Amino acid sequence: MKKLPLCTESDKTGVSIGAKHSCGNSKSWAEYTDRNAGSVNKKRYFGLKSAVFSALTAAFTFTWALYPHTDVSAKQWGMQSPGVYKLIDGSTLNGVVARGIDVSHWQGKIDWKAVAADDVKFVMLGTRSQGRPDPTFDYNASSAHKEGIALGAYIYSYATNTKQAEAEADLVLNLIKDYPISYPVAFDAEDEATLGKLPKSQITAIILTFTNKIRAAGYYPIIYANDYWIANKLDLDALAGIDIWVARYNKRHAYSKPVMWQATETGSVNGIKGNVDIDFQYKDFSSVIPKDTTRTIAGKTYYYRDYVLQKDTLITDEKGQKIYIDKNGNAITGWSVVDGKKFYYDPSTGKTVTSWFKVGDTWYFFDKDGVLQTGWLNKDKLWYLLSSDNGSMQTGWVKDNNIYYYFDASGVMQTGWVLHDSQWYYLNSSGAMQTGYIVVNDNRYYLDTDGHMLKNTNIVHEGSIFVIDENGVMGPPIGTSQSPEGTKISSKNIDKSKSVDMVYEQRIESSAAFEAATETSPAQTKAAHKSKNKKGSKKSKNKDTVTDDENCPDGCTNANVDTKSPGQP
C-alpha cells in the first residue's frame, strides 16, 4: 500500500513524520519486496557499490522481460462477468462486490473520469504524508466522488503506543469529516520498524484504540494487514468483530474471511500513470455504513445526508425535528431567526424545540415546526398569554387590550374567584377582571375600581346604600343616596344624616395606581383578542374548582388561590 521511502525519520514522540528523503546515513540501502507474500520486507545492504547495483537491476529487468507470465497488468485483474474477475494465474475470482483501488500522493495527478470508466467503483484514500494530511486528499476525494466513485480511507500507522494511535485517529477524523465517506476507514498495520517490533498485546491495544475512536465517531473501522501479519502478529480473538482487508500480491490470500483483498501493487488503471494497487471487495458495506447519520467528532456534532456533510442548510431528522446547520457543518444552538421566524435550537442536541421549552427562568411555546408563538395560546383546553415582544409566558396580572387578566405561576389564565395578596378578585368566564356590582351564586358583591372585593363597609349602588359584611356579601339596602355609583360611606355618616342625601367619603380613584403596581409582565401583549366572541369562548379547567379556604367569599365554589409555587406549563 505505502511506497516505502528511502528512509524514515521520527519526531520526538516516535511517530514517523518523514518520507522519501535521506536520514543522513552515509551507508546506502535497498528494499526487497516479497510480492508473493504481499508484504514489504526491508533488508538493508550496506556498502553496496553502484556498479553491482546497476548490474543487478539490469539482470532483474532482463528476467522480467524474459518471463511475460509475471505481468500483472489490469487485464489480468479485469471483470469477466458481473462479480467474476480473472486473476494473474488465469483462474477466476467469484463473489466480488466491486473492484477498487487505493491511492495517495504517490500516484500524482489522477484523471478520475478515466478511472471511473475503467471499472473502478471505490477508492481507499491515503490520509497522511510526512506527518500531515496527504496533500492530494482533497483533490482525490472531491474528484473521485464527482465521478461516482465511493470513498474510503486508510492511515499507514507508525504508532508504538495507544496515545499515538489516538492521535492518528484524530488526524484521520479531522480530515475525512468534510467528505462523503461511504466505505471503511482502515488502520494499516504493516510497518515493521515501529508497530511490527511490538508484542501482540501492545499491537492489539493500539489497534483497538484507533478502531474504537473511529467507530465512536460513526465510521466503520477495519484492519489492513498482509497474510504474514494476520498469522503471526495479530491477536484475532482479541480483535474479533473488526473486519480485515487482506494484502497478498499476485497470489490468493490465505486468510479466509477478509472483507477486501489487495491483490496487487502493480496494477494498471486508465487515468493513473504508473502502477496502482488493485482491490477486490467481498462485503457489501451499505448495511453497516448508513447514508444519513449524525457524528460527534472532537466534541462537535455533524449531520450527514447521503454521506454528504450538511452545511448552511435546514434539515429535518428522523423524528421530524428541524436542525439548522451553519457554514462549518455545525448545528446552530440557541436563538435563531430564519425567514423572519424565530426558533430555538436545544444547546444539547442542536434540534429545534417544540411545545413548551424553558430558556433560563422563562417559558416559551413553539409550534410543531419549532416557530416561537406569541399572543393568546389555547393548549390542552387551557389559556395562556405569550408576550408579543419576545414570546415569554406571562404570569400574574397582565393588561391586554385594556382588560386585566390573571395567570397563575404555571401561566394558566384564571377564572372565578382569585385570592391575590390577601385580596379577593373575580374574573369572568373569559378571564376578564370584574369591577363594580356582581352576583355570584345568588350572593351580591361589590368590587372596587382596582378589582378587589369590598368588605366591612357601605356602598352606593344605583342610588341605594348597601351594607357589605366581613365576607363581602351585600345586605339589603338601608337607605338612598345621590352620591356617585361605588361611593363608600361610613356608618358614622349614615347615623348622623338620617336623610336621603348622604354625606359620602371621597371615592378612591385607584385605577392608574393599580395598573402601575400590578402589571408585572416584561411587556404588554399585542391585541390578541381580535373580537369579543374570542374572549367569550375561552375556558379554564379552574372554573368551578372547589376550595376549602374558609375565607373564600361566602364559601364560593369557584375560587383560585394563588400559592405562587413554581410549576411547569
pLDDT of residue 406: 98
The predicted pLDDT at position 2 comes to 54
Q: Out of 3.20.20.80, 2.60.40.1890, 3.30.70.100, 3.40.50.2000, which CATH number does the structure's domain 78-289 have?
A: 3.20.20.80
pLDDT number for residue 350: 83
Half-sphere exposure at residue 451, Cβ-oriented, CA atoms within 13 angstroms? 30
Question: What span, in angstroms and rounded, lies between the C-alpha atoms of 559 and 437?
Answer: 18
The DSSP output letter for 533 is H
Cell numbers placing 135:
496533500
Minimal CA–CA distance to 538: which of 455, 435, 371, 416? Answer: 416
**Would you tell me the crossing angle of helices 162-176 and 200-216 to the nearest 10 degrees?**
30
Instruction: Check residue 490 and give its pLDDT.
Output: 82
Give the three-state DSSP class for 204: helix
- Name the burial class of residue 288, with classes exposed (0-12), middle (13-18) and buried (19+) by CB atoms within 10 angstroms of its CB: exposed
Residue 236 makes CB contacts below 8 A (sequence gap 6+) with 230
Domains 78-289 and 401-407+414-480 share a fold: no
Where are the chain's structural domains?
A: 78-289, 310-394, 401-407+414-480
- Residue 191 phi/psi, 5-degree rounding, is -75, 110
Residue 285, pLDDT score: 97
Alpha-carbon torsion (67, 70, 73, 78), positive or negative: positive
Predicted pLDDT of residue 1: 67
Cα 261 → chain centroid: 36
Cell of 278: 488493485
CA distances (Å), origin 99, targets 25, 39, 90, 225, 416: 41, 21, 17, 19, 78
Level-2 CATH architecture, domain 401-407+414-480: Ribbon (2.10)
Blockwise average pLDDT, block size 10, the chain, 569 residues: 43 32 30 36 36 46 40 67 93 96 97 98 96 96 98 98 98 98 98 97 98 97 98 97 97 97 96 96 96 92 94 84 86 88 89 93 95 96 96 97 96 97 96 97 96 96 95 94 92 56 38 38 33 34 34 50 36
Instruction: Record the cell numbers describing residue 213, joined without a space.
Output: 475512536
Q: Are 74 and 118 in contact (CB under 8 A)?
A: yes
Give the chain's radius of gyration (CA, Å): 41
Distance CA 548, CA 555 (A): 8
3-state class of 390 per DSSP?
coil
What pLDDT does 321 receive?
Answer: 79
Q: What is the pLDDT of residue 218?
A: 95
Number of residues written out for the chain: 569
CATH number for the domain whose boundaries are 310-394: 2.10.270.10
Q: How far apart are CA 52 and CA 396, in angstroms?
A: 98
